[in-house]
Structures are given as structure tokens and as C-alpha cells.
């Protein structure tokens, strides 16, 4: 009877305990098992927080960098213009004295200015580029001759900086504008003769000594030509090298030696490649200095090891069983590579190549060595034309003491970063879209 009772209660107790799941952990629990769990959880928490902190810190750096560049550069995408009444006098146009035309209309606007130095300051309001703009207009539309129109013309660099400072409250740069000039600007602005417009010239001009005329077209074109040469040379060479080393070469001391050297080359400072290019391409082969041809060839040397390594990694990622499958069907080793391994590795190879192109795109130092620091006004058309690249242009402008180039530098950096972002997006897209998951 007692035994029966005992058994009965035991069952009852077990039932009650069943309701409590053994998988529930409370942070205050004192069970030894839970203590250990608490330790492990704390460890995990620490690790997560450290990771999060690292990411936050890194993003802060990035954001402040970008903020800095954008804040000092965005104004370069706008241009300050002033509206003046222009009389296209036939006599003056025949003499090509467009400067005089502008001076006349300015005098018309401010008739009280008589002092010679004041007059010079007044004429200095307008960009030195303005006469050429008028000239172009007349050439495009000869019927303008003899007529009178209100025309928007860009102001000079100093005035532009001053106006933008007032407008954007950018302060601190301290433009050198006299009180008289400031008064003129204010008067012009009050009579709605000042405006900000999109600075298309920044994208359609080459370099210039005058900040308001300087643009990035020549250097962007130079960059493109350079990258084309670079890819045409580095891509086939690098991929072919990688395929041979990975798929065909016998494993011996020589291939090991080659492999070590390739890995070392990837870590060589880029300026060394510039010196190499100077010695070999320019001095030995006598290729044209500061041309995109030589620039591209130097950059090709620079990214060649990177492409080889990326391609080998992509080839290694293709499982050996796929090679076996093709070989067992009677494919020749070359067919195995070109029908299978290479095809399946291609997305990985392309990602690697694109990322190394991004690296070549941003490279500056080796190009300085081969004279691509040239002052290039005209857009280079063929590979042997003197050219410069976007990052070198940034370098050149950042060294320019003239105030107007500060915003140009930052703006060029923004364009450079935009290109970089585009290239990286392309790489990500290719990886997402085409990569084969094994």
C-alpha cells in the first residue's frame, strides 16, 4: 500500500516538474550549469559589442572624411554669374574687342566709377574667360551683331568665392575682396543681377590656370585611356599566367619560385613600378613621355600580380570534381579549362580584375615618375597624347596656391570617389549575379 502511494506521488511530482522546460535560462540562476552558460553569454556579448564599436568608429571616420570633402567641394559644381546688358557693336566685334564690349556695359551699370584703379577692379568682376564666351555666341549666331541683350557671364574666381561664402556662409577662407567690390556685388545682387548656375564647364573643360575655367574632362579622358591600355595589357597576361600556373604547370621548384615572386610583387610599393616604367619604357624603348600609353603600361605591371592572384583563387574555388567529370568524358586538358574551369571561375576573375582596375584608377605615385603630371588643357585623343589622370589632377590642384582651386580639388575628389563607387558596385553586381555557388 505504501509502495503504491509512493509511486503515485513520484509520478505526480514528475508531472509538476515537466511543466518547467529545461531549456529556460534565467540570468540569476545559481545552477552550476547556468553559471557556465552565463560566462559564455557574457563572452559573446563582449565580442559583439567590440565588433559593433569597431564598425561605428570606422563609419565615423568615413562619414567625417566624406563630409569634409563634400562640404568644401560641392560649391565647385555651381558657377556664379552676373547679368549685364551687352551691346553687340559692329565696330568692336569686327576688331574682336569683346573685352571692350564688356567693359562698356559695366561702365554703363556703374557710371560713377571714374578712378582708374577702381575701374580696373570693376572690370575684374567678370571672368577673364567672358570675352571668349561672347565671341563664341556671336560666331554661333551672327544675327546678334548690332543688337542689345542681357547676358549672363561668369564672375571672376575671387568674386565667385566671395559670393559663395556669403551665400553658403562658408566663412574662414578669407577672400581678398575690397569693400568697394563687396558693395558692387551687393548692389548687383539686389537688382537681381547675380545668380548661381550649374557649372557645366567643370565637366567640359581641361585644366586651366584660372580656377573658374579649370575642369576635369581632360584628366577623366586621360584616366579612361590609361585604364584601357592597362586592362588590355594586364587582363590577358594575368589571366593566362594564372591559368598556366594553376592548371598546366608542373609543381616544381621553378613554379614555386615564380609563385613566391608574384606574391611579393603584389606587395611592392607602387612608386617602384613608376621608376621601372621610367627606366624601361621611357629610357630603353623611348616611348612618349607623359602619355596614357606608358601610364597604362606601368599600371598594368602594378596590377598584374593582383590579377594573377585573384584569378588563381577563382580557379581554385572550382571544385576538382568538376575537372574530373569533364576529363572522364574525354575532354582534353585545354577543353577542361576553357569549357569548364575558366568559365565557372569567370565571375570571380572579373570581380578581381574590376577591383584591381579600381586600384589602378586611383593610383598616382607611379604616374608622377613617368611625367603624367603635365598641365593638360586639351582632351587627349590617342594613346600617345600627353595626358594626366583624375587622381594626378587632384594632386596638381591641391598644390595650386590659388584660392579657387581648393573647391576644385575637393570636387575632383568627389568625382573620383563616385567613379570608385561605380566600379565597386559593378564588381558587387557581377559577384551577386553570376557567381556559382558550389
Partner 1 sequence: MTQATQKEKQETDQPVVRMKSQDLSVFYGDQQALFEVNLDIYTNQVTALIGPSGCGKSTFMRCLNRMNDYVEGCRVTGKVRLDGFNIYKNNVDTILLRQKVGMVFQKPNPFPKSIYENVAYGPRIHRLVKTPQDMDALVEKTLRRVGLWDEVADRLSSPGTSLSGGQQQRLCIARAIATRPEVVLMDEPCSALDPIATAKVEELIKELARKFTIVIVTHSMQQAQRVSDQTAFFHMGHIVESGPTTQIFTAPEDQRTRDYIGGKFG
Per CB under 8 A, does 436 bind partner 1?
yes
Q: Hey, is 405 helix, strand or coil? A: helix
Q: How far apart are the first and last CA of the chain?
A: 67
Instruction: Please report how close the Cβ of residue 348 comes to partner 1 at its closest, in angstroms.
Output: 13
Per CB under 8 A, does 317 bind partner 1?
no
Per CB under 8 A, does 204 bind partner 1?
no
Stretch that binds partner 1, among 29-37, 40-48, 72-80, 328-336 (CB under 8 A): 328-336
Instruction: Please report how close the Cβ of residue 247 comes to partner 1 at its closest, in angstroms.
Output: 12
DSSP string, 192-242: T-EEEEE-THHHH----SSTTT--SHHHHHHHHHHHHHHHHHHHHHHHHHH
CA 227 from chain center: how many Å?
14
Q: What residues contact 146, with CB distance under 8 A and at least 6 apart? A: 88, 89, 90
Number of residues in contact with partner 1 under rule CB under 8 A = 20
Per CB under 8 A, does 312 bind partner 1?
no
The site string for partner 1 over 331-350 (x = CB under 8 A, - otherwise) reads: xx--x---xx---x------
Stretch that binds partner 1, among 117-125, 146-154, 282-290, 319-327 (CB under 8 A): 319-327
Per CB under 8 A, does 434 bind partner 1?
no
CB 83 within 8 Å of CB 193: yes
Separation of alpha carbons 32 and 158, rounded Å? 76
Separation of alpha carbons 273 and 370, rounded Å? 10
DSSP string, 162-203: HHHHHHHT--SS-----HHHHHHHHHHHHTT-EEEEE-THHH
Stretch that binds partner 1, among 77-85, 288-296, 321-329, 356-364 (CB under 8 A): 321-329
Per CB under 8 A, does 224 bind partner 1?
no
CB 307 within 8 Å of CB 352: yes
The site string for partner 1 over 367-406 (x = CB under 8 A, - otherwise) reads: ----------------------------------------
What CA–CA distances, in Å, run from 26 to 16, 22, 23, 31, 37?
Answer: 19, 11, 10, 10, 10
Per CB under 8 A, does 68 bind partner 1?
no
Could you say which of 319, 382, 399, 428 contacts partner 1 (CB under 8 A)? Answer: 319
In the complex with partner 1, the residue whose CB is nearer, 92 or 331, is 331
Per CB under 8 A, does 146 bind partner 1?
no
Return the closest-CA partner of residue 389 out of 300, 296, 301, 270. 296
Could you say which of 114, 143, 321, 401 contacts partner 1 (CB under 8 A)? Answer: 321
Q: Give the residues lining the site for partner 1 (CB under 8 A).
A: 319-332, 335, 339-340, 344, 436, 438
Amino acid at each position: 500500500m505504501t509502495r503504491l502511494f509512493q509511486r503515485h506521488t513520484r509520478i505526480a511530482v514528475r508531472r509538476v516538474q515537466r511543466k518547467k522546460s529545461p531549456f529556460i535560462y534565467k540570468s540569476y540562476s545559481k545552477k552550476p550549469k547556468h553559471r557556465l552558460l552565463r560566462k559564455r553569454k557574457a563572452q559573446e556579448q563582449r565580442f559583439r559589442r567590440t565588433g559593433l564599436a569597431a564598425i561605428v568608429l570606422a563609419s565615423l571616420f568615413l562619414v567625417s572624411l566624406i563630409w569634409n570633402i563634400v562640404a568644401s567641394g560641392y560649391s565647385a559644381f555651381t558657377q556664379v554669374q552676373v547679368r549685364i546688358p551687352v551691346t553687340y557693336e559692329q565696330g568692336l566685334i569686327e576688331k574682336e574687342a569683346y573685352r571692350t564690349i564688356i567693359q562698356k556695359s559695366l561702365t554703363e551699370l556703374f557710371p560713377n566709377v571714374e578712378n582708374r584703379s577702381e575701374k580696373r577692379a570693376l572690370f575684374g568682376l567678370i571672368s577673364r574667360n567672358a570675352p571668349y564666351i561672347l565671341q563664341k555666341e556671336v560666331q554661333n549666331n551672327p544675327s546678334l551683331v548690332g543688337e542689345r541683350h542681357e547676358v549672363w557671364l561668369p564672375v571672376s574666381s575671387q568674386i565667385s568665392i566671395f559670393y559663395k561664402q556669403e551665400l553658403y556662409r562658408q566663412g574662414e577662407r578669407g577672400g581678398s575682396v575690397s569693400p568697394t567690390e563687396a558693395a558692387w556685388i551687393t548692389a548687383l545682387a539686389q537688382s537681381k543681377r547675380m545668380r548661381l548656375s550649374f557649372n557645366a564647364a567643370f565637366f567640359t573643360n581641361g585644366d586651366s590656370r584660372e580656377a573658374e575655367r579649370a575642369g576635369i574632362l581632360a584628366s577623366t579622358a586621360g584616366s579612361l585611356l590609361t585604364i584601357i591600355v592597362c586592362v588590355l595589357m594586364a587582363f590577358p597576361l594575368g589571366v593566362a599566367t594564372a591559368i598556366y600556373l594553376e592548371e598546366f604547370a608542373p609543381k616544381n621548384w621553378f613554379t614555386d619560385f615564380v609563385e613566391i615572386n608574384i606574391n611579393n610583387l603584389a606587395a611592392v610599393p607602387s612608386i617602384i613600378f613608376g621608376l621601372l616604367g621610367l627606366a624601361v619604357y621611357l629610357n630603353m624603348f623611348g616611348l612618349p613621355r607623359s602619355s596614357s600609353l606608358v601610364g597604362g603600361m606601368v599600371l598594368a605591371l602594378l596590377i598584374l600580380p593582383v590579377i594573377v592572384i585573384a584569378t588563381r583563387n577563382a580557379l581554385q574555388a572550382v571544385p576538382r570534381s568538376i575537372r574530373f567529370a569533364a576529363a572522364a568524358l574525354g575532354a582534353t586538358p585545354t577543353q577542361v579549362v576553357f569549357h569548364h574551369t575558366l568559365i565557372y571561375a569567370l565571375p570571380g576573375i572579373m570581380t578581381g580584375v574590376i577591383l584591381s582596375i579600381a586600384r589602378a584608377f586611383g593610383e598616382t605615385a607611379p604616374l608622377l615618375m613617368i611625367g603624367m603630371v603635365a598641365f593638360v588643357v586639351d582632351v587627349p585623343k590617342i594613346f600617345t597624347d600627353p595626358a594626366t589622370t583624375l587622381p594626378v589632377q587632384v594632386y596638381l590642384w591641391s598644390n595650386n596656391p590659388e584660392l579657387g582651386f581648393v573647391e576644385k580639388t575637393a570636387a575632383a575628389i568627389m568625382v573620383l570617389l563616385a567613379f570608385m563607387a561605380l566600379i565597386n558596385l559593378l564588381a558587387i553586381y557581377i559577384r551577386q549575379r553570376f557567381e556559382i555557388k558550389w
